[in-house]
């Protein structure tokens, strides 16, 4: 057993890491560094019951060996949910908190100390065989191993940056259920992915007229489930071992994707063209995809989870050049299916569009200006539109992790070089040793591209915790040897 493991960040990923560490008896002490509430992160902190998870409850267990844990938890609270339901997001945050408190009590009964430090970690320094974590207040904590679970950083486009502190310009994550807007306000939502969809749903309830704009002008596709409903015949797992799945040849990215896509339509499933809509107009495509989903013709959705797992495994074996090629294909073609929206959200969007309260367009913003109480957005095609408010949902970027002289720097730094991750997700601190610092969840996105959801992250965590469990305790500082050192 290790003496201490530090978990940095406790959104869904960090909470799952704590639960795995505590249940597997990996360390005598687990220090969790999270400035906010356990299990919230950007994704699950909303208390608005209208904001639903984008993934079904059967894909949201925090525990790799208990896939039904979230559904069982909800049943335990008396919610009559089915595994396919996309439940309000606050319930997932509540689940994270309750499982965290549960393992804390159980761990304490076994003499394992689990502590939540409400602080950000700013650096992790190699200290002999172990590590010293430094927090924003200057406190230092020792650890034998570290799991980095910092999620992604919200990205603000240059056109918005000068206005970040203005009241009429709001990030989607800060949009409350009762957005203070004039009656019939005209609102620009920048972005067209899942966070933008949430923003439109929230704004739609307050009676706003919304223009959604993004460079792709593409909405997420529509799904009703993430797993096959009965037998897994034709599942992608059956492909493991095929030469094009096992290949490490850099020229194989397209072949790999083509092979996977062929599987979506094989095995008695409809031709792919009957599972998808290629309508050019985003609202007509939405309408068609709702129909396809309601008629149960979108079989592609059943392979989403396997697709993510197989693709991540494949890419971990590939050199960076393949990674880049593949990412272009994923972003352009596949991401709207991997990150599809639940049909209930799709219908809310469609009814807003049909009521003339939502337009979706392909546009690139070039300049935002304030004119009195209103905002003028100039577009790349030279046109200009006026709005009462602007909401931006412009995506996320992996957090900055730079490495300098055996020290990992977290947050904005110019020093050092971007930290490299190995295939087993260890962070290279530039020392001549196998480090015990692992990046998991969305902060591993520079190495593992499809870590969008809990279902993709939990197996990663389980693997890393198994590795930690197998490690011999190296002689290093830890609980029982020295108490944390505080620096003013
Ligand atoms: C709006 C939205 C909706 C989503 N809906 C779903 C869904 O329905 N289903 C699903 O599976 N996935 C969903 N996701 C994806 C979701 O983000 C991930 O599945 C999941 O939350 C994992 O995120 P995370 O814990 O890695 O990161 P986050 O949730 O971002 O958590 C990271 C945490 O790390 C903390 N942190 C950051 N830096 C430091 C530091 N230096 N020191 C200490 N702490 C730090 C932050 O305070 C934060 O709490 C959604 C994402 C978004 C944005």
SS3 140: strand
Q: What is the pLDDT confidence band of residue 485, given thresholds at 50, 70 and 90? A: very low
Residue 149 CA: nearest ligand 1 atom is 26
Give the global pTM: 0.91
Any idea which architecture 2-152+398-470 has in CATH?
3-Layer(bba) Sandwich (3.50)
What's the confidence (pLDDT) of residue 248? 57
User: For the chain, what is the largest distance between any 2 Cα atoms, rounded to a whole number of angstroms?
Assistant: 67
Ligand 1 close to Cβ of residue 197 (< 6 A): no
Residue 233 reports pLDDT greater than 70 = no
Ligand 1 close to Cβ of residue 456 (< 6 A): no
Residue 399 CA: nearest ligand 1 atom is 38
Rounded CA-CA distance 190/322 in Å is 31
Ligand 1 close to Cβ of residue 395 (< 6 A): no
Name the closest-CA residue to atom 42, ligand 1.
Answer: 120
Residue 47 reports pLDDT greater than 50 = yes
Ligand 1 close to Cβ of residue 120 (< 6 A): yes
* Residue 149 Cα to ligand 1 middle (Å): 8
Residue 14 CA: nearest ligand 1 atom is 25
* Residue 153 Cα to ligand 1 middle (Å): 9
What's the confidence (pLDDT) of residue 391? 96
What's the confidence (pLDDT) of residue 437? 97
Ligand 1 close to Cβ of residue 191 (< 6 A): no
Count the residues in the chain: 488
Ligand 1 close to Cβ of residue 453 (< 6 A): yes
Residue 425 reports pLDDT greater than 90 = yes
The most confident of 248-257, 337-346, 475-484, by mean pLDDT: 337-346
Closest CA to 56 of 64, 48, 68: 68
Residue 229 reports pLDDT greater than 60 = yes
Instruction: Give the tens place of pLDDT for each residue, 138-177.
Output: 999 999 999 999 999 999 999 999 999 998 999 998 887 6
Q: Which H helix or E strand runs over 83?
A: none
Bridge partners of 209, per DSSP, are: 186
* Residue 307 Cα to ligand 1 middle (Å): 21
Name the closest-CA residue to atom 44, ligand 1.
Answer: 9
Task: Give every CB contact of residue 216 below 8 A, 6+ residues apart in sequence.
Answer: 192, 362
- Helices and strands, number each (H, E), in the chain: 13, 23
Ligand 1 close to Cβ of residue 151 (< 6 A): yes
Name the closest-CA residue to atom 38, ligand 1.
Answer: 150
Burial 165-174 (b: 16+ CB within 10 A, else e): eeebbbbbbe
Residue 231 reports pLDDT greater than 70 = no
Ligand 1 close to Cβ of residue 171 (< 6 A): no
Conformation bin of residue 382: beta by default, left when phi > 0, alpha when psi is -120 to 50: left
Ligand 1 close to Cβ of residue 34 (< 6 A): yes
Rounded CA-CA distance 34/41 in Å is 9
SS3 2: strand
Cα-Cα-Cα-Cα dihedral sign, residues 15, 155, 399, 64: positive
Closest CA to 282 of 213, 205, 356: 213
What's the confidence (pLDDT) of residue 423? 87
The answer regarding whether domain 161-220+343-392 maps to CATH 3.50.50.60 reads yes
What's the confidence (pLDDT) of residue 481? 38
Residue 478 reports pLDDT greater than 60 = no
What's the confidence (pLDDT) of residue 333? 76
The most confident of 182-191, 347-356, 408-417, 423-432, by mean pLDDT: 347-356
* Residue 35 Cα to ligand 1 middle (Å): 13
Name the closest-CA residue to atom 13, ligand 1.
Answer: 453
Ligand 1 close to Cβ of residue 97 (< 6 A): no
3-state helix, strand, coil in the chain (%, to 5): 35, 20, 40
Rounded CA-CA distance 63/481 in Å is 32
Name the closest-CA residue to atom 2, ligand 1.
Answer: 43
Q: Which of 338, 453, 457, 459 to mutate to test the pocket of ligand 1 (most atoms within 8 A of CB)?
A: 453
What's the confidence (pLDDT) of residue 487? 31
Q: Which residue spans of the chain are classified as CATH 3.50.50.60?
A: 2-152+398-470, 161-220+343-392
What's the confidence (pLDDT) of residue 241? 56
Rounded CA-CA distance 402/286 in Å is 41
Ligand 1 close to Cβ of residue 126 (< 6 A): no
How many Å separate Cα 41 from the centre of its chain?
10
- Residue matched to tokens 């480090």: 435
Residue 15 CA: nearest ligand 1 atom is 25
Ligand 1 close to Cβ of residue 41 (< 6 A): yes
Residue 119 CA: nearest ligand 1 atom is 43
* Residue 402 Cα to ligand 1 middle (Å): 20
């Amino acid at each position: 057993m290790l003496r201490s493991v530090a978990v940095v960040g406790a959104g869904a990923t960090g909470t799952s890491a704590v639960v795995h560490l505590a249940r597997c008896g990996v360390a005598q002490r687990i220090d969790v560094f999270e400035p906010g509430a356990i299990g919230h992160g950007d994704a699950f902190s909303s208390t608005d019951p209208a904001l639903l998870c984008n993934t079904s409850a059967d894909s949201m267990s925090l525990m790799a060996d208990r896939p039904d844990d979230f559904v069982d938890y909800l049943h335990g609270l008396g919610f009559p949910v089915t595994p396919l339901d996309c439940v309000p997001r606050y319930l997932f945050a509540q689940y994270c908190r309750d499982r965290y408190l549960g393992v804390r009590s159980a761990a304490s009964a076994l003499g394992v100390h689990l502590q939540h430090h409400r602080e950000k970690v700013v650096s992790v320094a190699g200290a002999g065989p172990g590590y010293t974590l430094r927090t924003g207040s200057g406190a230092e904590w020792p650890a034998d191993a570290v799991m980095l679970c910092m999620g992604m950083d919200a990205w603000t486009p240059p056109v918005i940056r000068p206005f970040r502190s203005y009241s009429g310009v709001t990030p989607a994550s800060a949009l409350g259920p009762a957005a203070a807007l004039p009656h019939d306000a005209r609102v620009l939502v920048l972005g067209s992915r899942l966070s933008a969809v949430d923003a439109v749903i929230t704004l739609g309830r307050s009676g706003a007229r919304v223009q959604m704009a993004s460079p792709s002008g593409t909405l997420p596709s529509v799904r009703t489930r993430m797993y096959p409903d009965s037998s897994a015949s034709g599942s992608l797992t059956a492909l493991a071992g095929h030469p094009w799945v096992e290949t490490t040849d850099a020229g194989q990215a397209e072949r790999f994707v083509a092979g996977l896509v062929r599987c979506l339509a094989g095995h008695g499933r409809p031709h792919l063209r009957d599972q998808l809509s290629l309508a050019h107009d985003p609202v007509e495509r939405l309408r068609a995809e709702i129909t396809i989903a309601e008629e149960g013709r979108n079989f592609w959705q059943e392979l989403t989870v396997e697709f993510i797992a197989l693709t991540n495994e494949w890419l971990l074996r590939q050199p960076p050049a393949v990674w880049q090629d593949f990412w272009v294909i994923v972003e352009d073609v596949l991401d709207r299916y991997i990150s599809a929206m639940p049909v209930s959200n799709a219908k809310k969007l469609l009814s807003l569009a049909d009521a003339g309260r939502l337009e979706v367009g392909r546009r690139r913003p070039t300049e935002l200006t304030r004119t009195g109480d209103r905002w003028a957005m100039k577009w790349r095609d030279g046109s200009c539109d006026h709005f009462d408010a602007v909401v931006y949902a412009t995506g996320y970027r992996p957090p900055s992790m730079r490495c300098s002289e055996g020290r990992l720097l977290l947050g904005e730094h110019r020093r050092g070089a971007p930290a490299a991750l190995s295939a087993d997700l260890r962070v290279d601190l530039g020392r001549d040793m196998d480090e015990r610092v692992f990046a998991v969840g969305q902060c591993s996105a520079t190495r593992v591209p499809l870590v969008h959801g809990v279902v993709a992250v939990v197996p990663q965590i389980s693997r890393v915790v198994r590795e930690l469990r197998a490690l011999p305790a190296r002689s290093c500082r830890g609980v029982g040897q020295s108490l944390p050192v505080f620096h003013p």
